Amino acid sequence: MTVMTDRAGLALELSGIVKKFGDLTAVSGFEICFEPGQVHALLGENGAGKSTLMNVAAGFLTPDLGEIAIGGRAVHFGSPRDAIEAGVGMVHQHFRLVEQFTVAQNLAIGAKDVGTLTSTKALNERAAEIGATYGLGVDPSKVVGSLSVGEKQRVEILRTLSRGAQVLILDEPTAVLTPDESDQLCLNLRAMASAGATVVFISHKLNEVLAVADRVSVMRGGLLVASRERSECDLDSLARLMFEDVTQADERRSARSAVSLGTEIMTIQDLRARDERGAMALKGVTLEVHDHEIVGLVGVAGNGQQELEQIVAGIRQADSGTVVINGDEVHGVQAALRAGLGYIPEDRRGTGLVTAQSIWLNSILRIYKQGSISRGVLIQTKKAKKFALELAKKVNLSTADVTTLVQHLSGGNAQKLLAGRELEGDRKAVVAVNPTQGLDVKAARAVRDRLIQARDEGLAVLLISADLDEVFAISDRIAVIYEGQIAGNFAVGDADRDEIGRLMGGGSANGLS
């Protein structure tokens, strides 16, 4: 491997990169340069080839053709370790952490400044210092497996930054961060670029890209369709480049149903629960969701959202308090199902879907015991596949071949399948957790439209999301959770972003701590 000796002048160049997976050409070969001192945004819908291209650049994949150069000199990466030693690091959407280790231990993996006999206290102090440096602190002593997805994302970002990456590739880095955290990260990225680093910023949030990037490149179908200075870009032009059939990229507020709020379908009363370490995660949460209503729950990751969603879905027990759905008190998964609850978890591939199985098998997971699908203990395959095909058409899945394994679907298509399944049938309520995380504008809109449709059909929707734009776009009411308690509850028309931000950070509604 050839590596530049002067790392202050690092720049990443990709020339003629081609990467195929069987008959699928994910990247078709083109030239692109990511300059030092710039934040360079890479845009494109799911399946455009962005992540594949960057996985090649970071040593996770080997190109079939083409050349990678740093500082004008060709390099050949046999592994991500080779890339990080050359100064190229990538933070993925799907985490590469050791679940059984603490945050501090994960941040120490591969670090040259950590010895084999370093004490736990020293590791914790080092991790706390790294978190404070980048404004993305996570409790160093917590086991990673117990963290929320948002907290895990922060650990991934911190680990790559702490290993001295000078070419930093970030794949949807703000997807699970609060607005303040996103703003702070963007400030840090700008500071890194000002200091001479190269930042590649993959995002589907067009406003965010326009706010942070110096240059924007757009991919579609494995090809580079445009690369422009930030001053030459706006929302509409970027949307047209990303999607041939989309002419307006800004998120629009949903058309409100004329139906007034009615019956309380989901009632959460004085819910108290502990986290994996025994600390109180929920401290008397009370919240209700009516039919024809979307309630958006916002908060900094780790303030009790994970415990709340799991208790409502029946997969975790509360210490005290009640969850009532459609008049039935919920204790356990089967009780939640009988009450008519749909559940769209944050981890679509790990929890929501069985990725090694087909679309049709995943489509019937909620209903396979019903007489319309099964006869005794036997599933009637023909009827099950027919049901799956109808569901695939309804959610506009990219393929009509329901024997396709879910692991071969893009993130957007996997999420459309999951959301469609959980909203199908005799549902009364749904819990949706970060349902559009990591999706492009088009896929995110499809999922949000399905939630809006569910609300208009009379469902009670509890939307737990780290994306304030999403919450404001489709919610009827917004609740803020802080340290396991509801800190505020607003009709969306009365909600003020600054006030909500203060409450999320532990301040009071009038701005006083």
Distance, in Å, from the CA atom of 461 to the CA atom of 447, rounded to the nearest integer, reads 13
* Contact predicate 144/155, CB 8 Å: yes
Distance, in Å, from the CA atom of 419 to the CA atom of 450, rounded to the nearest integer, reads 8
Q: Which CATH superfamily is domain 264-352+425-504 in?
A: P-loop containing nucleotide triphosphate hydrolases (3.40.50.300)
Q: Domain extents for the chain? A: 7-242, 264-352+425-504
Helices (H), 290-410: 305-312, 333-338, 359-363, 381-394
Residues in the chain: 513
The one-digit pLDDT tens for each residue of the chain (513 residues) are: 333 334 445 589 999 999 988 777 889 998 999 999 999 999 887 678 888 899 999 999 999 999 999 988 899 999 998 998 888 999 887 788 999 999 999 999 878 778 778 899 999 999 999 888 776 778 999 999 988 777 887 898 888 878 878 899 998 787 666 677 778 778 888 887 887 889 999 886 777 889 899 999 999 888 999 999 999 998 878 877 876 543 333 343 444 444 456 799 999 999 999 987 788 899 999 999 999 999 999 987 788 999 999 999 999 999 999 999 999 999 999 999 999 999 999 888 888 899 899 999 999 888 776 667 777 778 888 888 998 999 999 888 888 899 999 888 888 888 889 998 998 888 999 999 998 877 777 888 888 999 999 999 999 999 998 778 889 999 999 999 988 999 999 999 888 887 887 788 776 665 444
Question: Within 13 A of 52's CA, how many CA atoms are on the CB side?
Answer: 25
Query: If you write DSSP's letter for every residue of 368-398 in order, what string do you get?
Result: TTSTTTEETTEE-HHHHHHHHHHHHHHTT-S
Q: Which of 301, 273, 262, 340 is nearest to 464 (CA)?
A: 301
Q: Residue 277 class from Cβ within 10 Å (0-12 exposed, 13-18 middle, 19+ buried)?
A: exposed
Sign of the alpha-carbon dihedral angle for 297, 299, 301, 302: negative
Distance, in Å, from the CA atom of 388 to the CA atom of 399, rounded to the nearest integer, reads 11
Amino acid at 131: G
Amino acid at 50: K
Query: Is domain 7-242 annotated with CATH 3.40.50.720?
Result: no
Using alpha carbons, list the distances in angstroms from residue 156 to 153, 163, 190, 275. 5, 11, 19, 22
User: Six-digit token pair at 38?
Assistant: 């710039």
Distance from chain centroid for Cα 250: 19
Sign of the alpha-carbon dihedral angle for 388, 391, 396, 397: negative
Domains 7-242 and 264-352+425-504 share a fold: yes
Element (H, E) at 197: none
